[in-house]
Chains A and B, each alone.
Chain A
Amino acid sequence: MGALGLESLPGDAMINYVFPNNEHVFWSVMIVIYPYITGLVAGAFVVSGLSHVFKVKEFHPIGNFALIAAFCFGLFAAVPLLFHLGQPQRAYEIYATPHLTSAMSIFGYVYGSYMVVLMLEIWLIYRPFFIKKANEGAGGLFGLICRVLTLGIRRYTPEAAHVDHKFATILAGIGIPWAFTLHGYVGFIFGSVKSIAWWATPLQPIIFLMSAVVSGMAMLMLMYCFLMWKRKQPIDMPMMRKFVAFLWGFFILDFVLEMLEIMFAKYEHGHHWEVVYPLLTGPTLKYSFIYGQVLTLSVIPVVLLGFIVLKKMSDKMTILWTNIACFLLVMQVLFMRFNVVIGGQLISKSDRGFVSYQFEVLGREGLIVACGILSAPFIVYFILSRFIPIFEDPAAGAYESEPRA
């Protein structure tokens, strides 16, 4: 026990006993970043939904930015799974022959259909831009893509804009419950595993959902501030203040649910707590969960965000504290994913011992590959932003543009 850094062992165990097949953690870093990236998609989409559907006017300037960011994250949401699978060449079988009793089997369809909704919405919003570029005779691959995306319609009228806007709003309306479904569903994949005490709670889908919204919003704000700084443009302060208020609200919900889950297990004092308590006070989660996720990465931002919302402060200070809080929240959710995914597997199903976990750095499921996958959406965003207007109106100049003879 001492060598393992455990304070106690469940089941009256005198020595740490792990089932022989439990010595490996079969879901590692790739399965940590898979729900993380999926969460960023859902969170970013919520911001665009607040702008396009719920008409939060302060968010209008970043509505399209949130949508494009959600798309960039969405492109890579399933990539960690491909790195994780033992037989990635058979991944299509989840689509081709889904076994419908499996919570995992529907993921392909939920994720695929969500991406279709997202891309359709982006296409409708950027249609005037594609028409304008096609009419201007843009060359190269970009010009070809623009011409294809116009689908042969080279005239943009106010009537067309009205219809597009209507359909884009409907798609955003479908997209919000679908984004929530996508991420609640990821939580369901974990929460429905009855054999792992740390996962098996009906709160899991809701916690995953809330943390997804928080991570997506926080990441969006960090990206926004960075981009404005790079572009030497002023930050939209009314937007930021409203954003922080929403973020604070979502994070309060998220944090309270996370703590409720623990408090419930402790108060119930059943089988779950017997294995969860030594896990939380054990050598890994004591630092990554209690000191990391809860005390540093949750308590500080919840206070900080409240402070920004409730107290009047200068723009400069608001920007500084918001960025610090957002950075802490982005890390909070990453820690939360780690603590859930890896933490659950550290409890041996022998119920008399705990597995010790070592990070893999190199290798297919290692930290280097994980960093590569996590940076990929930002690279795609950078490339996209070279070609399409993200903070400007995509319809600007489209009405006047005429197809070339």
Chain B
Amino acid sequence: MTTKLKGLHMNKASIPVTGENYSDPRREFLKNVLAGTAAATVLMASGPGVAATKKFALPENIPDPYKAKHHWIYVININNCIGCGNCVRACKRENSVPDTVFRTWVERYLLTNEGVYVESPKGALEGFEHYNEEIRKKAIRSFTVPKLCNHCHQPPCVQVCPVGATFKAPEGHVLVDWTHCIGCAYCVQACPYAVRFINPVEHKADKCSWCYHRTSKGMRPACVTVCPNKARLWGDMNDNEAEVTKIFNEGQWMVLKPQMHTDPSVFYVGLPKEVI
């Protein structure tokens, strides 16, 4: 099965994240990790300033992205999202996601004095229809919010996987190894964000991988690439000049469900309090 996306042709069998050809990038990763770890060790030893920049407390069994060559994070600027659904379509095509499930989706909120209208028809695959006149009259404000896997630093899905098929990769991705997943769906239950699902075709756990097959080759995730208004940004926190690092350092961001203590790697700028 071949997927097409703005001139990019990719055979499904070559998608490494949840398929059999995963070992090559992983080997590359390990090399990078070794190099990164060595470099980080030298830096750590050189003075306390570097250690002081560490932003998360990590459980012992999770690799520390600050020691890796890259530390990828994802930033969503709500003020820039226009709810076009390009990202959802791109994700579907890039990752051959079946119709009934979603690796990413967009929600539309409309706030009124009576309460909140939230919807995401087909995950916003076809965008949104106009509100009817009755609801529009009541509207105080409306906005759209993209959702995807938060690639948490303390991921409940990784914790509960009984065979270790779901794991945290050294540079921040939370991935599923389809050669080991038994399809028990415990990870689906444990994820507070409902970004996981059992792939109805493969009968294995599936989720956003930040397009690992692209990002491990220096490309950006498909959803970031197609976003027309820079609502979705993706970059390396280890690069001080990266746009995401600057946004992160400004500190004007929020994460989803902070009460779950999952330490997400997806940061929202301009996130209204009504968003769950």
Contacts and interface: CB of A to CB of B under 8 A. Distances in A.
Contact of A20 (B120, B159, B274): B120
A15 B138 CA distance: 14
Given A87-B182, A349-B192, A350-B118, A101 B204 contact: no
Contact of A348 (B61, B112, B194, B196): B194
Interface string B157-168: 011111110000
Contacts of B274: 12
A102 B161 contact: yes
A98 B162 CA distance: 6
Interface stretch (B46-54, B183-191, B235-243): B183-191
Contacts of B182: 85-88, 90-91, 93-94
B102 A99 contact: no
B188 A26 contact: yes
B247 interface: no
A14 B198 contact: no
Interface string A77-113: 0000100111110110110011101111101000000
Given A102-B159, A104-B186, A21 B101 contact: yes
B181 interface: yes
Given A20-B102, A194-B156, A352-B276, A86 B203 contact: yes
A295 interface: no
A27 interface: yes
A90 B163 contact: yes
Contacts of B156: 193-195
Contacts of A84: 184-185
Contact of B115 (A12, A93, A348): A12
Nearest to B104: A20
Contacts of A271: 259
A11 B116 contact: yes
A313 interface: no
Contacts of A19: 105, 120, 147, 193-194
A97 B164 contact: yes
Interface string A105-144: 1010000000000000000000000000000000000000
B123 interface: yes
Given A19-B194, A349-B192, A195 B118 contact: no
A248 B114 CA distance: 49
B31 interface: no
Interface residues of B, number: 51
Interface string A322-366: 000000000000000000000001001111100000000000000
Interface in A5-20: 11-15, 17, 19-20
A82 to B, nearest CB: 10
Interface in A163-209: 189, 193-196
Nearest to A199: B189
A105 B162 contact: yes
A103 B160 contact: yes
A24 interface: yes
A22 interface: yes
A90 B186 contact: no
Given A99-B164, A101-B159, A345-B189, A87 B181 contact: yes
A309 to B, nearest CB: 40
A315 interface: no
B195 interface: yes
A402 interface: no
A102 B118 contact: no
Nearest to A86: B183
Interface residues of A, number: 45
Contacts of A24: 100, 197-198
Nearest to A195: B192
A393 interface: no
A23 interface: yes
A26 B189 contact: yes
A196 B185 CA distance: 14
A15 B184 contact: no
A148 to B, nearest CB: 34
A99 B163 contact: yes
Nearest to A189: B186
A13 B116 contact: yes
Given A14-B115, A101-B61, A90 B180 contact: yes
A291 to B, nearest CB: 27
Contacts of B116: 11-14, 352
Contacts of B204: 86-87
B160 A21 contact: no
A111 to B, nearest CB: 13
Nearest to A192: B160
Contacts of B123: 20
A231 to B, nearest CB: 42
B260 interface: yes
B130 to A, nearest CB: 16
B183 A350 contact: no
A21 B197 contact: yes
Contacts of B186: 102, 104, 189
Contacts of A349: 191-194
Indicate the member of B118, B122, B197 with the most A CB atoms within 10 Å: B118
B142 to A, nearest CB: 13
A84 B156 CA distance: 21
Contacts of B183: 85-87
B119 A104 contact: no
A351 B194 CA distance: 11
Contacts of A94: 162-163, 182
Contacts of A21: 101-102, 188, 194-197
Contact of A14 (B112, B159, B163): B112
Contact of B184 (A11, A86, A97, A352): A86
A94 B161 CA distance: 10
Minimum-distance CB pairs A-B, first 10: A86-B183, A86-B203, A99-B164, A195-B192, A19-B194, A104-B162, A105-B162, A12-B115, A17-B118, A26-B185
Interface of B: 61, 100-102, 105, 107, 112, 114-120, 122-123, 147, 156, 158-164, 180-186, 188-198, 202-205, 259-260, 274, 276
